[in-house]
Amino acid sequence: MNDERLKYGDKIIYMEGVIVDVDDCSISIDLKGRLGFLKAPKRMFICDTEPKVGQEVGFRMSFPEQLGPEINDKYVSNIEKERRKQDEMRKRLDNKEV
Amino acid sequence: MSITAETAKAHAHDPAVLCCRAEGGITIEPANLEDPAIFDDLVDSGLLNLDGCLTIEEVLGAKLAKTCDSLCPLTADVVEGAKAPSAPVEEAAEEEAPAPAVPAVSAPAAAPAAGGVLKIHIGEGKDIDLEIPVGALGGGNAVAAEVPTAAAAAAVEAAAPAAALEEKVVRTLTRKHFKITDVKRGPETKIEGTTLYIREGIEAEVIADQELVKDFHLEIITPDLYHTYSETIMDVQPIATKEGDDDIGCGVTRVLDGVVMMLTGVDEGGVQIGEFGSSEGYLDENIMWGRPGCPDKGEIFIKGNIVVQEKTNMERRGPMAAHTAFDIITQEIRDVMKKLDDSLVAETQELRQVRRPGKKKVVIVKEIMGQGAMHDNFILPVEPVGVLGARANVDLGNVPVCVSPLEVLDGCIHALTCIGPASKEMSRHYWREPLVLEALHDEEVDLCGVVFVGSPQINAEKFYVSKRVGHTVEMMDADGAFVTTEGFGNNHIDFASHIEQIGMRGIPVVGMSYCAVQGALVVGNKYMQYMVDNNKSESGIENEVLGCNTLCPEDAVRALSMLKSAMAGEAVKAAEKKWNPNVKSSNVELIEAAYGKKIALVENEQSLPMSQKRKEKYD
């Protein structure tokens, strides 16, 4: 992983967001200003008190930049497999409920 | 910010730069100088040029020839009467030479970067305020392993009292190994010779055991099936049981060789348990073989894929139910193992817990995850890596739990294992924990025990538990301590705090963690002088390969010699600002030279097969 491929890597900006969901292992954040949504493992979130929906969070980030036009087939195949499996399992779940 | 006389002494050989505007003719004092800790960032950003700059020891007491502005490097043409430089203290200390230099403060993790902004106010002229983001460039505070000085062994030996006190064997643990070469399904669970049969239809019981478990599939993965697609691996466990009423950590343990339990899982919607950073894909491309926590090449996996109730994959009860239900199968195998005839024992191994009075007393503090869900561990089950009888460390409040080294090696931790495949310590890791084994076998130290402490989510709780760790280690009268952690993230906050709590009691601490590039520490303190990085990946990242960046024997060897150096009072060089893998290799060379033995380094992800398409693309 070399960050030299980033063209704008040093453009770090301060961001704020609102916690919209907390479960036992993750927190979900809506970025203020309709700038997106972020879900991260709880372990990567630093908090002095228990994280709760509605709390505001702050962090710095820059823009995700495409590293190149290449497509990594390993990831594509994993994503496809995952999607197929989820579709199948969802169908089975739906049938069960009917 | 001016510096104190003490800081000036510690940085005697660092560049001298004025901290604020100074009039010509003054005598230069520490108060006129800037703290060298911030120079790296200023040089990186081009705000400071240290070419030809004199050192602090040279300029102290000399006269400033002309009026200079703040942040002006003091060169020979602006200073009158500079002293001659003394030779910097050689840090490669000889045998007993106690390092005269004040140990360098761990530069990378130091606080300045935490403050975020360095404000410089220039009063003269037009009132210019400069705001320079300190650490904006090297921001991550990369922590590379630092250099232990050579000859540690000799120094520790010299420090130990001459009166050789006798070693004391506190207790022993016998491991009886049973060889398994084949795993099949059959009408009942049994072991015949070296073949293990697993009862057909056992799946129904696994499903019935837990309300949340909705489906379950069992697969037997033999080496020829390694190139099979698999869901994220949640855990790898040894199959072991106690003989009779023996407790974990003593008596006799029976273990199957050549076969491991492997747990994978999804929820009913098909979402992986413990989503984020998973090692799903082909097994042979995603497992770092032979790591303490991983399967070895050639082993058979009894792989169970559990489907838990929809949306419980992110709740605490989901992973817990998966682990508990999967143990039904392991327990049935354990019950069979108990009845096995001793004639089938392939190998008997005796592990001894040895205390070495008179030697330096060390303790291992292992930080385990305790943020909740799969960031949890079952502590001290009745059976090795079992579930029954164990307490989850989250339920225990993540407070320190003291165990014997043999309890660790006998499976006292059933790890629910957190996310981040490359650095997670799975249940099998504890079964073969390299640091415990290395410290237990090292005749120069007296390993008094292992302390497990959970890493809670909330900072207030983190400091609550780390204070307990401090007191626990204090009452042990330890001479040195290791603090290890798995993965990275907010657990580094309590990791740093544990080291601080132990360090402030005057006990040298070696910290071990995966850091490198992605896992750079978020905080630091002055006690974090002795750090060992567990990284093995080529580029210092979480590479999604199971177990790649976990603690290995080579890390244990480095940590031990570093702690010995620290306990002997030798200086350890401060880490470089950015992660540099060469630090590790030069340390390994130093240790090899001092001990006269070769340290075999483990392979990393580069040794794994790459899919044909990837090969064409990248090689």
How many other CB atoms are found less than 10 A from the CB of residue B108?
26
Asked if residue B353 belongs to a domain, the reply is no
- Of the pLDDT bands very low, low, confident and very high (cuts 50, 70, 90), residue B602 is very high
The size of chain A, in residues, is: 98
| pLDDT attached to residue B429 | 97
Asked if residue A3 belongs to a domain, the reply is no
Give me the residue from A43, A74, A93 closest to B281, CB to CB. A74
What is the tally of structural domains in chain A?
1
Q: Is B3 helix (H, G, I), strand (E, B) or coil?
A: coil
B518 is written with which tokens? 């992605």
Asked if residue A2 belongs to a domain, the reply is no
Q: Out of A1-15, B392-406, B534-548, which region has the weakest mean confidence (pLDDT)? A: A1-15
Do B125 and B159 lie in one domain? The reply is no
Collect all residues of chain B within an 8 Å Cβ-Cβ radius of residue A73. Answer: 611, 613-614, 617
- Of the pLDDT bands very low, low, confident and very high (cuts 50, 70, 90), residue A97 is low
**Rounded to 5 degrees, what angle do the CA atoms B227, B230, B236 make?**
100
| pLDDT attached to residue B618 | 40
End-to-end C-alpha distance for chain B, whole angstroms: 51
Do B185 and B333 lie in one domain? The reply is yes
Q: Which domain CATH number covers A21?
A: 2.40.50.140
Using one digit for the tens of pLDDT, what is the confidence trace for B461-516?
999 999 999 999 999 999 999 999 998 899 999 999 999 999 999 999 999 999 99
- Of the three residues B348, B380, B398, the one that is the final residue of a domain is B348
Do B375 and B422 lie in one domain? The reply is yes
Asked if residue B103 belongs to a domain, the reply is no
Asked if residue A18 belongs to a domain, the reply is yes
Asked if residue A20 belongs to a domain, the reply is yes
- Of the pLDDT bands very low, low, confident and very high (cuts 50, 70, 90), residue B102 is very low
Q: Is B181 left (phi over 0), alpha (psi -120 to 50) or beta?
A: alpha
Using one digit for the tens of pLDDT, what is the confidence trace for B35-86?
888 888 788 777 888 888 888 888 888 888 888 888 888 888 888 888 887 7
- Of the pLDDT bands very low, low, confident and very high (cuts 50, 70, 90), residue B164 is low
Do B368 and B342 lie in one domain? The reply is no
Using one digit for the tens of pLDDT, what is the confidence trace for B170-180?
999 999 999 99
Do B161 and B125 lie in one domain? The reply is no
Mean pLDDT of B249-274: 92
Answer yes or no: is pLDDT of B611 > 90. no
Residue closest to B56 by CA, chosen among B81, B85, B80, B77: B85
Answer yes or no: is pLDDT of B155 > 80. no
B210 is written with which tokens? 């837990």
Answer yes or no: is pLDDT of B237 > 90. yes
Asked if residue A5 belongs to a domain, the reply is no
Catalytic residue among B418, B448, B515, B552: B418
pLDDT above 90 covers a percentage of chain B that reads: 56
What is the tally of structural domains in chain B?
3
Do B257 and B165 lie in one domain? The reply is no
Asked if residue A84 belongs to a domain, the reply is yes
Do B214 and B304 lie in one domain? The reply is yes
Do B342 and B433 lie in one domain? The reply is no
* Greater model confidence, B145 or B455: B455
Do B81 and B208 lie in one domain? The reply is no
Residue-range definition of the domain harbouring residue B40: 1-88+109-142
Under a CB-based contact definition with an 8 Å cutoff, are residues B294 and B236 in contact? yes
Q: What is the DSSP secondary-structure string of B351-392?
A: EEEEE-TTSEEEEEEEEEE-SBTTB-EEES-SSTT--TT-EE
Whether residue B617 and residue A70 make contact (CB cut-off 8 A), yes or no, is: yes
* CA B248 vs CA B97, B251, B294, B403, B574: distances in Å: 44, 8, 22, 10, 41
- Of the pLDDT bands very low, low, confident and very high (cuts 50, 70, 90), residue B278 is low
Q: Is B479 helix (H, G, I), strand (E, B) or coil?
A: coil
* Rounded Cα–Cα distance for residues B539 and B136 (Å): 21
Do B137 and B158 lie in one domain? The reply is no
Whether residue A49 and residue B314 make contact (CB cut-off 8 A), yes or no, is: no
Most confident stretch, B6-10, B278-282, B309-313: B309-313
Whether residue B307 and residue A46 make contact (CB cut-off 8 A), yes or no, is: no
Collect all residues of chain B within an 8 Å Cβ-Cβ radius of residue A90. Answer: 269-270
Asked if residue B521 belongs to a domain, the reply is yes
| pLDDT attached to residue B125 | 54
Query: In terms of DSSP H, where are the helices of B111-232?
Result: 112-115, 152-159, 202-209
* CA B4 vs CA B7, B31, B202, B294: distances in Å: 5, 6, 71, 50
- Of the pLDDT bands very low, low, confident and very high (cuts 50, 70, 90), residue B401 is very high
Using one digit for the tens of pLDDT, what is the confidence trace for B329-383?
999 999 999 999 999 999 999 999 999 999 999 999 999 999 888 889 999 999 9
* Rounded Cα–Cα distance for residues B431 and B248 (Å): 12
B82 is written with which tokens? 């500079």
Answer yes or no: is pLDDT of B101 > 80. no
Q: Is B22 helix (H, G, I), strand (E, B) or coil?
A: strand
- For B375, the closest chain A residue by CA position comes to A25
Asked if residue B64 belongs to a domain, the reply is yes
Do B123 and B17 lie in one domain? The reply is yes
Please check whether residue A41 touches B, CB under 8 A.
Answer: yes
A45 CA: distance to closest CA in chain B (Å): 6
| pLDDT attached to residue B535 | 94
* Rounded Cα–Cα distance for residues B510 and B484 (Å): 8
Residue-range definition of the domain harbouring residue A92: 10-63+70-97
Asked if residue B131 belongs to a domain, the reply is yes
Asked if residue B303 belongs to a domain, the reply is yes
Query: Phi then psi for B180, rounded to 5 degrees?
Result: -120, 130
Asked if residue B100 belongs to a domain, the reply is no
* Rounded Cα–Cα distance for residues B319 and B378 (Å): 12
Do B374 and B490 lie in one domain? The reply is yes
Query: In terms of DSSP H, where are the helices of B145-201?
Result: 152-159
Q: Are strands B117-122 and A56-61 parallel, antiparallel or unpaired?
A: unpaired
Whether residue B373 and residue A72 make contact (CB cut-off 8 A), yes or no, is: no
